[in-house]
Amino acid sequence: MRVLWRIVVVITAYFCGVIGLFVVLTILFGLASFASFAPVYWTLTGVSPAIVAGAPAVGLFLVAMAIVLSAMPILLIVVLAETLAWRSMSVYAIPAALLSAGIYWELSPRTIGGLDLIGSIEVALFAVSGAFAGSIYWAIAGRRAGSWR
C-alpha cells in the first residue's frame, strides 16, 4: 500500500512540475518581452495563459507534448532517486533544466545553424523554467525519495 501511495505522489508531482514549467516559462517570456531587443512573438508568449484559457486544445497539446518528450528521461532519474533515496533538490532541478534546454535546442527552428542572442536567451529561459519544474517535483515528492521502503 505504501508503494502504491508513493507512485501516486510521484505521478502527481510530475504533473505539477510540468504545469509549473509552463507557468514559469510564461512569466519569464512576459518579463523578457520588455527588453528593447525582444522579438514580437515574446509578447504573444507572455500572454499565453489567456490564449490557453481561450483555446484549451492548445494548452492540452503543449502539456501532452511536454509529457511525451520528458517522461522517459525523468522516469530514469526518479527511479534512481527513489531506489537510492537521493533527496537533494539538485538531483531533480539540474537534470530537468538540462532536459528542458535540450528539448528546446533540438526542436526550435531558431537553433538551426547555431545560436544567436535571442536563441541563447530562450535556451536560458527554458533552462530556468526546467529547474523550477524540478524544484516543484522535489518539493512534492523528491525530498521524501525512498520513503516507500
Provide the mean pLDDT of the chain. Answer: 84
Q: Answer yes or no: is pLDDT of 55 > 70.
A: no
Rounded Cα distance between 126 and 97, Å, is: 7
pLDDT of 89: 92
Q: Please give the grid coordinates belonging to residue 81.
A: 532517486
The 3-state DSSP class for residue 33 equals coil
Q: 145 and 82 in contact (C-beta within 8 Å)? A: yes
Under 8 Å CB-to-CB from 123, ≥6 apart: which residues?
101, 104, 105, 111, 115
pLDDT band at 66 (very low <50, low <70, confident <90, very high): confident
Q: Answer yes or no: is pLDDT of 107 > 60.
A: yes
DSSP label of 114: S
Q: Answer yes or no: is pLDDT of 49 > 60.
A: no
Q: Answer yes or no: is pLDDT of 113 > 70.
A: yes
- pLDDT per position as a tens digit, 70-87: 989 999 998 898 888 888
DSSP annotation string for 92-114: HHHHHHHHHHHHHHHH-GGGTTS
pLDDT of 90: 93
Alpha-carbon distances, residue 96 vs 4, 54, 128 (angstroms) = 24, 29, 9
- pLDDT per position as a tens digit, 20-48: 998 888 888 888 888 888 787 776 665 55
Q: Please give the grid coordinates belonging to residue 68.
A: 511525451
